[in-house]
A and B are shown apart, each in its own frame.
Chain A
Amino acid sequence: MSSADSVAVPAPRERRSRADIVDAVVRVRELGLIVVLALLIGVTAALEPRFIDAESLRNLVRNATIIGLLAVGQTLVLITRNLDLSVGSVLGLAAFMTGDLLASNPDLPIPLIFVLGMLLGSGAGIVNGVLVAYGRIPALVATLGTLWVYRGIAFVWTGGSQVNAENLPGDFLAIGTGTVAGVPTIALFTIVTLIVVGYALRSYRGGRELYAIGSNPDAARLAGIRAQRRVLGAFIASGALAGLAGVLFTARFATVDATAGTGLELQVIAAAVIGGVAIFGGSGSVWGAVLGAVVLTTITSALIILQVPAFWQQAVVGALLLTAIALDRFINVRITERLRRRSARGGVDEEAAEPPSGQPAGRPREREEGGS
């Protein structure tokens, strides 16, 4: 009686205050990232002014674009308490398809290529989503399986061949190197995606339901949320964005073979985690995820330009990840305390006061997928 009711129809004042706190926290987290980013760039630029050259910054942005795009999709999945390990393989498939198509049909309209890439990605996402939401396979297992299957298919499809720059039409390649008003063209895709998805997540009911599913799947279901559909949707979105990223990959790198995108999935999850997306769902924003991708890329670039030996880069990134995770946990604990105090004062049911920001214990208790 109590918890389901409270989640579904809380008193307006408590709901607003809970939302306020969460909003505030998310904003603080993102602001924190921006501060970190500013510090990073500032310190590096002070030591090495070339770092903030226009071209250098543009390259930084270009590097972050693909990971950022993938991170947006991954965030949608992570929020529902799942994850998608197959994004690297999907990117590879889409990238090769793009190259293959353009090499044999150079006159294909470029918008069509983007549509096809996203369709391919969506198809892969549907498989993932059905397996997780309807097949009730844990996302870790399902997407690990599809990671391998899709990569194997890529090898079979490419058959040892490779797409090269000289096979691709010039105006397609121009997308990869060009700029629009000083902003790299491919970055525009990520920015637009970010705005669209970010808005949809906050303002549309479907988006808010994703958070509900991730925080408390049982309550979400009892509140009438069609969890399976939402989770399927999240995976389709993740796949579609991976497909889009694949097309951009080909535009940028122009040489594509069966191994394109190998190993990206862990980088993407790392970016999302740094960006404040909880790995057990229920909280985080796509803005944060993209910021996380930018921070990750900036750190790598900064270490290179400061001539820190390459071997230290991974160790530093790993330490950074751990710091981000610990920080989020710390913030989480603070929210819980504050809300508990508030609820003690206001007499609201304590369970309702628990913030939708992941499990405080840091462990998936009764971790049912959002598809039951």
Chain B
Amino acid sequence: MTSNSQRRPVLRLLLIPVLVLGLALAVAACGGDDDGNGSESAAENGEGGVPEGLEIVSIPKQLGNPYEEVEHGGVEEATTELGGEHSYEGPTDAGASSQVPLINAAGQQGVDALIIAANDPNAVCPALQQAEQSGVAIVAMDSDAAPECRSIFINQASTEGIGQAQIEMICDQVPDCEGEIAILSATANATNQNAWIEVMEQELEKEEYSGLELVEIAYGDDDDQKSFQETQGLLQAYPDLQGIIAPTTVGIAAAARFICGSPNEGEVVVTGLGTPNQMRQFVDSGCVEEFALWNPADVGYLAAHAAANLTAENITGEEGETFEAGRLGEYEIGADGEVILGPPTRFNQENIGDFDF
């Protein structure tokens, strides 16, 4: 009785390593060791030495974000112009490791270039470095990865410019440039927002902004409901709050929606970075005076051209190098491989009707 049942588990035990070995052998036999390199682009046609059939993969922070959809639409536009192929792969959640499988896949497929808006500047680093070793050119855009993991970073505007613009706007709109203000950001790990917030904090130490006091930084996680509730929380915790800066399109839309149409309208300023489509009704109603952004499509467009030039080895990401970016003209690479698109655009009642994104 017991001896039988004691023998069987041993058999089961043997089964595991046998199965695993079997699988491993099958895998090794069927495939080989593939370094995943070997970009199929051969001929050097196309402008400025950019090879035909350029394969670019672009990875957003998360699927389903309309701002990013427009941005990566710009990548598509440029890639098509260059006669290449664009592939858009995004994770279903903005967790730190969600982009890693996608980066790995791009490396394995041996694409020419990878454009990424990083969820976490460091978490994606090992994967990016591995992809780079397989011969993939790495370009970060919008939300940077750590500089040692990418060759070029396309920044939509200078980090200083973005931070300064938002402080300028809040100072313009808050009466006498005096009072408590708060920041409603995206996720706590987002590179771009954190960089802008750092600039904003430095700006606030300047003499001309001494009347403004930053009381809290709240995180809406780029989730509409959470941003909405965080706004509510800010107003409850700080009844004298004069203004909210939301350096994220999700955050500013949620904050505006909460404040406009509530008793706080007119008393609390909402500004930051937003898309014209989401903010139009609030600007038209007078609740929101001014906010800023840039054209996300241009960011993607520029990123694709940078990637193409990297692949063609026209540039390596060094400071001072220049490259052609189609309809946007010529761009120069700054320190740490950073390329700046241009100054942020401010949207207000006068010009908001001119844009559709």
Question: Taking beta carbons and an 8 Å cutoff, which residues of A are in contact with B?
Answer: 50-51, 55-56, 59, 63, 151-152, 155, 158, 160-162, 164-166, 177, 249, 253-260, 262, 301, 304-305, 307, 310
Contacts and interface: CB of A to CB of B under 8 A. Distances in A.
B232 A59 contact: yes
A253 B223 CA distance: 11
Contacts of A177: 261-262
Contact of A155 (B63, B223, B263): B63
Interface in B256-283: 257, 261-263, 277-278, 280-281
B286 interface: no
Nearest to B275: A164
Given A59-B236, A160-B66, 10 more contacts: A55-B263, A151-B92, A160-B63, A166-B280, A177-B261, A255-B253, A255-B278, A258-B63, A304-B236, A307-B237
B324 interface: no
Contacts of B229: 63
8 contacts: A51-B236, A56-B236, A155-B63, A160-B66, A255-B253, A258-B92, A259-B62, A301-B233
B63 A50 contact: no
Given A155-B92, A255-B253, A305-B237, A162 B228 contact: no
Contacts of A260: 224-225
A160 B69 CA distance: 7
B205 to A, nearest CB: 23
Contact of B225 (A55, A158, A166, A253): A253
Contact of B64 (A59, A63, A254, A258): A258
A156 to B, nearest CB: 10
A255 B218 contact: no
Interface of A: prevailing SS: helix
B254 interface: yes
Interface residues of B, number: 31
B202 interface: no
A48 to B, nearest CB: 9
A161 B257 contact: no
B97 interface: no
A63 B65 CA distance: 24
A257 B277 CA distance: 15
Contacts of A253: 224-225, 228, 254, 257
A310 B277 CA distance: 32
B97 to A, nearest CB: 17
B31 interface: no
A257 B64 contact: yes
Contacts of B66: 160-162, 257
Nearest to A66: B225
Interface in B51-93: 62-66, 69, 92-93
Contacts of A151: 92
A63 B231 CA distance: 13
A255 B252 CA distance: 12
A140 to B, nearest CB: 21
Contact of A165 (B64, B219, B257): B257
Contacts of A56: 236
A258 B65 CA distance: 9
A256 B69 contact: no
B329 interface: no
Contacts of B233: 301, 304-305
B239 interface: yes
A262 B64 CA distance: 13
| Residue in B66, B219, B228 whose Cβ sees the most chain A Cβ within 10 Å | B66
Nearest to A313: B233
A256 B64 contact: no
B348 to A, nearest CB: 17
